Structure 1
Amino acid sequence: MAQSDSSGSLIRRATDLLLTGFDDYNASFSDLSRRGKRRFEAGDRVGMRSDVVARMALYDQSVDEVIGRLEESLANRLWSRSIWKEIHKAFAKAIDDRLDAELYKTFFNTTSRRLFKTRGVDPAIEFVALDIQPTDRITHPVSRHTYAVGGDLGDTFRRVLRDYEFSIPYADSAGDGERLAERLRSELLAVGESAITSIELLETVFYREGRAYLVGRAFGRERYLPCVIALVQEDSQVRVDALLVRRLQVSILFGYTFSYFLADLPTVGDAVVFLRTLLPDKPIDELYTVLGRAKQGKTERYRAFVRQLLVRPEETMVEAEGQRGMVMAVFTLPSYPLVFKLLRDRFAPVKTIRRHEVIERYHLVHRHDRVGRLLDVQEFKDLRFPRDQFSSELLDELMSECQRIVRIDDDTVVIRHSFVERRVRPLDLYLKEVDEAAAHHAVTDMGQALKDLARSNIFAGDLLPKNFGVTRSGRVVFYDYDELTLLTDCNFRHMPKATNDFDLYSDETWFHVDDNDVFPEEFPRFLALKPALLEVLRDAHGELFDADWWLQVQSRIRSGESLDVPPYTDEARLRG
């Protein structure tokens, strides 16, 4: 039966509102991303961070605005499933030929799920395409500059720098060109390439935490390498700081332990396709996320995980390896590198923190500069999984420990709220599994992680190795956030000196301690490291046990200084 004129009009208006809503969101997203250049030129790292946070909030704001307009337009038919089925069809047709159609679909899904409070998936009023990769339809190349190398490579890099202009000058473009050429030649020779034939770089510049990045690749006769040029602003001039040509370096830069880039990409899908040529093992969901498309990243992460469940129907989800959490129940699918973290109904007695405080700390990490040392976390609501894909032991624990957010509907387990993180190897287990050299390296990097976090205004709180993990790239990260706090909220103190034998030998603390007091001299007691490993940590980072070091960092942050934590090692940096 044909639609009535009134119904057809409602469907067209609703479809137009959804399309316009996403287009408006996308335009605002681009406006904020474009500020990256201005922030970089001004050396305004704080402003760059505020733009990233504002852009993260933009999505939900835009969805809420669209829902308000739909409410005015659809009135009492706002929750009509029959109308929404037709809106779904009309919207699908309208976006069919758009390059970033998947982003539109996700926006539609968020709107419909929020309206209908959908639990699980409702294919009648949302888009479900578990068997389709969002980049399959990308057929044209992302915009880029291509440089044929026919003569002096230093001249080529000087041309590159001329093509990427800023309102402030380069400090030494001639010298930077020579240093880039020397480093690239050396790296290509190391992989058996004697000549460089061309370099291609994306037109879009990527900005994050005070730096700018020119992203592309360099071709030899037989192979190509990533080619990422890191720029910094110093004294109102631009200087080349580093060249990243190894996949591991670039993978870390585009990884899940850093904040999102400000990059004004005309389309996102084609950029993801290009980045996959540099990082073929990087999950698509992580690339969308690090480009600032966090909602799309969540969608792709969910799709990928459900596909894995379909491919491995015999595999069951189990409790994650590591010590049992006192605040969170944590489970994983052994064949897939994610963990799901669920708040327990009751925390262990030693934990005085409240549920809303834990949630806020996870939100803090999501918004904060993670400096490569905190796992990004995504919040999911109303997930549904087949009951038979949970081990009986895990299901018993969830039903006894997490009843407030877990229930069983027939053959389905419904999880009302969870945090999802990339799975890493718990440091306490890692230290038992590796040889002495690897253990020493991990403990040393744990100390560096604490320093990096401190410089980003984060104090981890619980320093036990079980709360740290080791990534595939060998970096130590922190992932248990219930005791994490801002460094500027801590009161770092030296241990008071006992004045008599009674105080000296007392089993009880004989001086007053506030909740936010921290005594770095006591850290060795809480690290639970073997004496030999503790000594390695002392030798490399002894200042961590001195309150004065923490107070100095705290003072610099409170004065407004933005402390730099480069996303690459000194090995990648160019020497002037």
Structure 2
Amino acid sequence: MQQDLQTLAHHLLQGFDDYRFRFRQITQDAPQYFAQAHWQAMQQASAERIDLYETRIKSTCAHLPALAHQVAIWPDLKQVYRQMLSTRLDAELAETWFNSVYCHLFAHAGINNQAIFVDAEPRPIQAHSHIPLTRSYLRQQTGFAALFQTILTSYSLGVPFFNLQEDCQFIESSLIESLPSYILADPYLDVQMLHTVFYRNKGAYLVGRILSGGHSIPLVLPLVHAESQGVFVDTLIIDPEQVSIVFSFTRSYFMVDVPIPAEFVAFLKQLMPNKETAELYTAIGFYKHGKTEFYRSLLSHLAHTSDQFVMAAGVKGMVMSVFTLPGFNSVFKIIKDKFAPPKEVSKATVKAKYALVKRLDRVGRMADTQEFSNFCFPVSRFAPECLQELLDVAPSTVEVQGDQVLIHHLWTERRMIPLNLYLQQANAKETVAILQDYGRAIKQLAAANIFPGDMLLKNFGVTRHGRVVFYDYDEISDLTEMNFREIPEPRFPEDELAAEPWYSVAPNDVFPEEFATFLFRDPQHRRIFQQEHAQLFQASYWRSVQDAIHAGQLLDVYPYPAQQRFRFLEEIL
């Protein structure tokens, strides 16, 4: 039996190695796409990499011997597999792979720490690895411009800088304006930069930190490839909150080569101490291990608090029911068994929409989700009214089994303040700012070929950074599939008084003229929105965006304010 377990463990690890090899292959193509400005290839590679995990899990499971299908052997198999991970630099990812195989074979049944890696394994980061994590650049009495010229020229981007000297002068001026005088005067200042470049969509990012005395300041240099001119440094980011936005849960995953994931994430955690470990793994493409870390964090929260699940604040959805834990910054979403009119989508369609969002370029305007099956917690952790509502609206999904609540299928998502609730509490300045950002969110989604469908305020949330994010996906469609029309002139005066429209309406027809009254009950909100985004009420605007998409234009949406950019190389929404 022991030899059979050894063979099976090797089989599982071989499947993981095949996955990791292909994952790194896809990732390592990103520098070429950036250098050649192959933006659509970059997006396609990102989507392929997301799909890769499930594809390889299914392939591995399809070729397992019969022994693997005996649930009783898995505790012993885990011990054999654990021993094989002792010298690996990506052991935590291999543990998640083991868990995924088990869950695929046994439909998430019988999950416990004896059979799989529910708890994190105590394992020190392999500090003795021969793979260096960072490069160190000492100031040594030179000015910041000279220091950053050395830093920038040490990276091979495959395309030259258009004006490196000017870039470095911009960086120096920005640092002088932002850093305290005692750091600016430090002759022994050290800049530590990660070796690898972060690629996402049309951008590349150099990431590191400034060390001075006992101070550590995060540093991000976003690079833009202006195809006719070369590479520019677009801005400098040293504010931890802005660095956190660069790694936001609302954006696509970075394409970055990570030889030692735990070490890499530990470095990023030092730059962003308020960012959850799960989010950092997810941001660099290891979203399945991010899910593992999320689940462990949830278990820890429940073990150390008396929090109960309660229904989430906001208008109740017609398709999804949403609940949350007051002290845990996430919501949990399940599909209702029956949808209130006029919703006509099916459960399968809703699941497909959420899977689609995972693969899309979310342009900083759509929340990432994690999907769970057979989510099980004690009845005592649910507020009675919350549990009753879940049982009422989704009896096929939610079951009480003894003292446990079993939820067959759900999604988790970052908790935000629903936009309609935010506006109820906002002052005049906050109202103007958030309504302007609401319009920008709609425009940026449209330019990414995403039509939200139901654009009501209740379907958008506000993050802690004051950004508007869409989070209700059951009606999303490709913008290019929609038919944007003007409302025809009435034939007779009586037409406008009729209960039914005097013109035909096909399923994909959209009439933007109706948005003003449909979206805003408050006339003041409508006026504020129209001052900056009146074109959203014009069918011609939406058709122009469709034309741009058909022409192959990809939107540039940067995770920092437009006014912070060193140059305005092109228009930003």
TM-score exceeds 0.5: yes
The residue that corresponds to 2:98 in the other structure is 108
Alignment partners' CA distance in 1, 2:15 and 2:505: 53
The residue that corresponds to 1:52 in the other structure is 46
Paired residue total: 562
The residue that corresponds to 1:488 in the other structure is 480
The residue that corresponds to 1:232 in the other structure is 224
Is the 8 Å Cα contact of residues 424 and 472 (structure 1) preserved in structure 2? yes
Deviation string for 1:437-474 (max 9, x for gaps)?
Answer: 11111111101111111111111111211111100111
Deviation string for 1:12-46 (max 9, x for gaps)?
Answer: 11111122221221111111110110110111111
The equivalent position to 1:204 in structure 2, one of 196, 201, 215, is 196
Matches within 5 A, 1:17-166: 17-71=11-65, 75=66, 77-119=67-109, 121-129=111-119, 137=125, 139=127, 143-149=133-139, 150-166=141-157
Report the 3-state secondary structure (helix = DSSP H, G, I; strand = E; otherwise coil) of the residue aligned with 1:123: coil
Q: What is the deviation of 1:124?
A: 2.8
Q: Aligned AA for 1:561?
A: Q
Report the 3-state secondary structure (helix = DSSP H, G, I; strand = E; otherwise coil) of the residue aligned with 1:244: coil
Alignment partners' CA distance in 1, 2:563 and 2:185: 23
Normalising by structure 2, we get a TM-score of 0.95
The equivalent position to 1:329 in structure 2, one of 288, 307, 321, is 321
The answer to whether the aligner puts 1:364 opposite 2:356 as a matched pair is yes
Matches within 5 A, 1:468-487: 468-487=460-479
Alignment partners' CA distance in 1, 2:562 and 2:547: 26
The answer to whether the aligner puts 1:428 opposite 2:420 as a matched pair is yes
Q: Aligned AA for 1:396?
A: Q
Report the 3-state secondary structure (helix = DSSP H, G, I; strand = E; otherwise coil) of the residue aligned with 2:235: strand
Q: What is the deviation of 1:381?
A: 0.7
* Percent sequence identity over aligned pairs: 38
The answer to whether the aligner puts 1:180 opposite 2:171 as a matched pair is yes
Alignment partners' CA distance in 1, 2:490 and 2:419: 35
The answer to whether the aligner puts 1:247 opposite 2:240 as a matched pair is yes
Report the 3-state secondary structure (helix = DSSP H, G, I; strand = E; otherwise coil) of the residue aligned with 1:78: helix
The residue that corresponds to 1:4 in the other structure is none
Q: What is the deviation of 1:82?
A: 4.2
Report the 3-state secondary structure (helix = DSSP H, G, I; strand = E; otherwise coil) of the residue aligned with 2:104: helix
Deviation string for 1:298-348 (max 9, x for gaps)?
Answer: 111111011111111x32111100011111111000110111110001000
Alignment partners' CA distance in 2, 1:396 and 1:100: 43
The equivalent position to 1:309 in structure 2, one of 302, 306, 313, is 302
The equivalent position to 1:267 in structure 2, one of 229, 240, 260, is 260
Is the 8 Å Cα contact of residues 194 and 220 (structure 1) preserved in structure 2? no
Report the 3-state secondary structure (helix = DSSP H, G, I; strand = E; otherwise coil) of the residue aligned with 1:243: coil
Question: Cα gap change, 1:354/1:82 in structure 2, threshold over 3 Å: closer, same or farther?
Answer: closer
Unaligned runs of 5+ in 1: 1-6
Q: Aligned AA for 2:93?
A: L
Alignment partners' CA distance in 1, 2:497 and 2:531: 29
Q: Aligned AA for 2:283?
A: V
Is the 8 Å Cα contact of residues 521 and 547 (structure 1) preserved in structure 2? yes
The answer to whether the aligner puts 1:380 opposite 2:376 as a matched pair is no
Is the 8 Å Cα contact of residues 120 and 382 (structure 1) preserved in structure 2? no
Is the 8 Å Cα contact of residues 89 and 259 (structure 2) preserved in structure 1? no
Q: What is the deviation of 1:133?
A: 7.6
Report the 3-state secondary structure (helix = DSSP H, G, I; strand = E; otherwise coil) of the residue aligned with 1:329: strand
Report the 3-state secondary structure (helix = DSSP H, G, I; strand = E; otherwise coil) of the residue aligned with 1:22: helix
Q: What is the deviation of 1:111?
A: 0.7
Report the 3-state secondary structure (helix = DSSP H, G, I; strand = E; otherwise coil) of the residue aligned with 1:219: strand
Deviation string for 1:71-111 (max 9, x for gaps)?
Answer: 2xxx3x23233433322111111112333221111101111
Unaligned runs of 5+ in 2: 569-573
Per mean C-alpha deviation after superposition, the further-off stretch among 120-129 and 459-468 is 120-129
Question: Cα gap change, 1:192/1:346 in structure 2, threshold over 3 Å: closer, same or farther?
Answer: farther
Q: Aligned AA for 1:556?
A: A
Q: What is the deviation of 1:396?
A: 1.0
Q: Aligned AA for 1:12?
A: Q
Report the 3-state secondary structure (helix = DSSP H, G, I; strand = E; otherwise coil) of the residue aligned with 1:414: strand
Normalising by structure 1, we get a TM-score of 0.94
Report the 3-state secondary structure (helix = DSSP H, G, I; strand = E; otherwise coil) of the residue aligned with 1:416: strand
Per mean C-alpha deviation after superposition, the further-off stretch among 97-106 and 395-404 is 97-106
Alignment partners' CA distance in 2, 1:569 and 1:454: 19
The residue that corresponds to 2:456 in the other structure is 464
Question: Cα gap change, 1:529/1:144 in structure 2, threshold over 3 Å: closer, same or farther?
Answer: farther
Q: What is the deviation of 1:410?
A: 1.0
Matches within 5 A, 1:390-469: 390-469=382-461
The residue that corresponds to 2:571 in the other structure is none
Is the 8 Å Cα contact of residues 557 and 563 (structure 1) preserved in structure 2? no
